[in-house]
Amino acid sequence: MDGNGRWAKQRGLKRTEGHAAGEHALFDTVEGALDIGLEWMTVYAFSTENWRRPVDEVRYLMNFNENLLLRRRDELHERGVRVRFIGRRGGRVPGRLRRQISDAEELTRRNRTMTLTFAFNYGGRAELVDAARAIGHEVAAGRLVPDKITDRTVARNLYAPDMPDPDLLVRTSGEFRISNYLLWELAYAELVFTDVLWPDFRREHLFEAIREYQRRERRFGAVDG
């Protein structure tokens, strides 16, 4: 979900105004996903690198995400959405926000219409480091032999081991990179890039990306029969 700052700058607004506008984009997109029956959606809400932004912007984003949960979690719950978060929960994430995250997850944990995952204080490299540490503890405890480590071993130690690998990645705002996002999980995902800045993104753009995905041929390293 990229382009909030540029959207605000084009309009002579503060960067935080772009983040606020991005909320409508997010929930219009979520509603569209629910309408067409998507069962899994993951959004990049705050990266491990975003701590480098100005202090005022980081503080705004922490408060914004807490307020978003307070305003929207009941609505999502009523729609049968399971809300989950992946990323590091400790460190500089405020305790009050961590509690709101846990409350939202607990409230919606039995829902199955769609799983909406927020990648928050998330980095793909950090996820792999944390998985490696968990595997190392298993080896040290004698529960795992190094020669038995496989890709499945790594996968079950990721933040959300039950989440299927994404079929489609949509990157907004004309950027052509994945920016440390789901590095393991995106191995065979189809990538769609759009020039639309995130605050202008709507369900129609999601549908357009899915139509592009449907036109592609996925072989997963194999050849046509």
pLDDT tens figures, 90-140: 889 999 999 999 999 999 999 999 999 999 999 999 999 999 999 999 999
Task: Tell me whether residue 200 is one of the annotated catalytic residues.
Answer: no
Measured between alpha carbons, how far is 14 from 70 in angstroms, rounded to an integer?
A: 24
User: What is the model's pTM?
Assistant: 0.94
Measured between alpha carbons, how far is 119 from 40 in angstroms, rounded to an integer?
A: 13
Catalytic site residue from 4, 35, 50, 63 = 50
Phi, psi (deg, nearest 5) at residue 191: -110, 130
Structural tokens at position 161: 């081991």
Measured between alpha carbons, how far is 150 from 221 in angstroms, rounded to an integer?
A: 19
Question: What pLDDT score was predicted for residue 223?
Answer: 65
Task: Tell me whether residue 65 is one of the annotated catalytic residues.
Answer: no
pLDDT tens sequence across 57-93: 999 999 989 998 999 999 999 999 999 999 999 889 9
Measured between alpha carbons, how far is 187 from 190 in angstroms, rounded to an integer?
A: 9
Question: What pLDDT score was predicted for residue 225?
Answer: 57
pLDDT tens sequence across 137-156: 999 999 999 999 999 999 99
pLDDT reading at 170 higher than 60 = yes
**Please, how many CA atoms are within 13 Å of residue 46, restricted to the half-sphere of its CB?**
22
Question: What pLDDT score was predicted for residue 205?
Answer: 98
Question: What pLDDT score was predicted for residue 221?
Answer: 73
